[in-house]
């Protein structure tokens, strides 16, 4: 009697377990975000440099500097400054940049798509290269491909990301002339596509503008390749190590003994069971890429949130730096939540443990 209702009942339980896991993860993230707010506020005040001196100018008198400090609210006690900052955050106000005169939330919202497009493309390129390379290296240990995998992993770890970017610019732009000038998201002869997602590649396709699409893709290739080289090593090594562990397991030997094709055994059975460590590594790599973006954006004059934060930091402009760190923290929380959801979809035991 109850047989036909069982699948629907199981689906309901799975959805409830997933929702419970998501709520728990979000609740656990709240103390972390509070800690980020407190630490970021204190660190920006501890940095050398006085915003009042910077914005008053080199020829300003002590009285003029003090007046600027009063106008900025920097003369108030630290606890009062923090209280005002928290109240502003509660109202969704990240403050106003002193260098640009624009609200920090607006600046971050306008610049975030540039950073996200670059980071995602770099990660996609890295996955397309690293995962197949790691799988092949695991299926053919000590072969030429396996040796190449080790060399690539070592090189990716050894080269600083900014150095890789400068080398790529020197070779492909200066020497060969294949790449456009590293001066932002678009060549000066093209205009931005109509804003839909903020991703130039997607927006230009939506607008039916292949010229802008190719121009934005050309500008993206070198910085995305820089990030991809940086992230190749951990993804390749983890894919190879995870596949080696799974390929030596009993169920893989049983599948091979059953006469299944090599493709079915490796992809359907082995890789699916090796995915969890790889997904964990992808999450970590994405976090690293968000940090590496700061250097890559400076090398390629990319108008993202990383370069925005660096410029604000040099000017002792507190609000953009605080907004940048808080944005990164929220993105890390959402990324970890996404990884947990993927875990639950791949392995239902994760939902039960949560």
Close Cβ partners of 284 (under 8 Å, ≥ 6 residues apart): 234
Q: Which of 353, 227, 225 is nearest to 295 (CA)?
A: 227
CB half-sphere exposure, 113, CA atoms < 13 A: 13
Distance separating alpha carbons of residues 74 and 62, to the nearest angstrom: 15
The DSSP-derived string for 232-292 is: HHHHHHHHHHHHHHHHTSHHHHHHHHTT--HHIIIIIIIIHHHHHHHHHHHHHHHHHHHHH
Query: Can you give the pLDDT at residue 30?
Result: 81
Q: Rounded to the nearest 5°, which phi and psi values hold at 103?
A: -60, 140
The counts of H helices and E strands in the chain are 15, 0
**CATH level 2 (architecture), domain 111-314:** Orthogonal Bundle (1.10)
Could you give the C-alpha distances from 281 to 68, 228, 240, 277, 278, in angstroms and in order? 47, 14, 12, 6, 5
- What are the extents of the domains in the chain? 9-99+319-331+345-354, 111-314
Strand partners, 103: 96
Could you give the C-alpha distances from 190 to 196, 210, 211, 216, in angstroms and in order? 17, 11, 8, 9
Instruction: For CA atoms 244, 245, 246, 251, give the dihedral sign.
Output: positive
How many residues are there in the chain? Answer: 354
Query: Can you give the pLDDT at residue 9?
Result: 57
pTM, whole model, 2 decimals?
0.79
Write out pLDDT tens, residues 248-292.
888 878 878 887 777 788 887 788 778 878 888 887 888 778 777
Query: Can you give the pLDDT at residue 1?
Result: 45
Distance separating alpha carbons of residues 96 and 78, to the nearest angstrom: 19
Q: Rounded to the nearest 5°, which phi and psi values hold at 85?
A: -65, -45
Write out pLDDT tens, residues 290-337.
777 888 988 898 998 888 888 888 877 888 888 888 888 888 878 877
Strand partners, 96: 103
| 8 or 292, greater pLDDT | 292
In 91-143, where does DSSP find H-type helix?
104-139
| 116 or 68, greater pLDDT | 116
Q: Rounded to the nearest 5°, which phi and psi values hold at 96?
A: -120, 135
């Amino acid at each position: 009697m109850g047989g036909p209702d069982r699948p629907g009942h199981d689906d309901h339980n799975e959805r409830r377990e997933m929702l419970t896991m998501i709520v728990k993860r979000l609740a656990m993230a709240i103390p972390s975000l509070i800690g980020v707010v407190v630490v970021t506020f204190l660190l920006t005040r501890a940095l050398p440099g006085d915003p009042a001196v910077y914005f008053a100018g080199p020829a300003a008198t002590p009285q003029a500097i003090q007046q600027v400090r009063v106008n900025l609210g920097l003369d108030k006690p630290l606890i009062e400054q923090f209280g005002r900052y928290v109240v502003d955050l509660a109202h969704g106000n990240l403050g106003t940049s002193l260098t640009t005169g624009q609200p920090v939330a607006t600046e971050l919202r306008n610049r975030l798509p540039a950073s996200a497009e670059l980071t995602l493309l770099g990660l996609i390129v890295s996955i397309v290269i690293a995962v197949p390379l790691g799988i092949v290296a695991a299926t053919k240990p000590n072969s030429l491909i396996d040796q190449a995998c080790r060399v690539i992993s070592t090189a990716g770890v050894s080269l600083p990301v900014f150095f890789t970017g400068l080398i790529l610019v020197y070779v492909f732009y200066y020497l060969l002339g294949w790449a456009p000038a590293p001066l932002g998201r678009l060549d000066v002869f093209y205009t931005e596509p109509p804003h839909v997602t903020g991703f130039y590649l997607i927006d230009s396709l939506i607008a039916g503008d292949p010229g802008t699409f190719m121009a934005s893709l050309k500008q993206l290739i070198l910085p995305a390749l820089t990030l991809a080289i940086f992230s190749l090593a951990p993804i390749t090594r983890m894919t190879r190590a995870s596949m080696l562990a799974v390929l030596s397991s009993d169920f893989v030997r049983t599948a091979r003994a059953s006469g299944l094709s090599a493709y079915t055994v490796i992809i359907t059975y082995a890789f699916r069971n090796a995915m969890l460590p790889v997904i964990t590594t992808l999450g970590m790599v994405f976090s690293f890429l968000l940090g590496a973006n700061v250097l890559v954006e400076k090398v390629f004059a990319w108008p993202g949130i990383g370069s925005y934060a660096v410029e604000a930091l040099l000017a002792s402009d507190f609000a953009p730096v605080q907004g940048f760190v808080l944005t990164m923290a929220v993105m890390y929380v959402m990324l970890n939540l996404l990884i947990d959801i993927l875990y639950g979809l791949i392995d239902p035991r994760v939902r039960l443990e949560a």
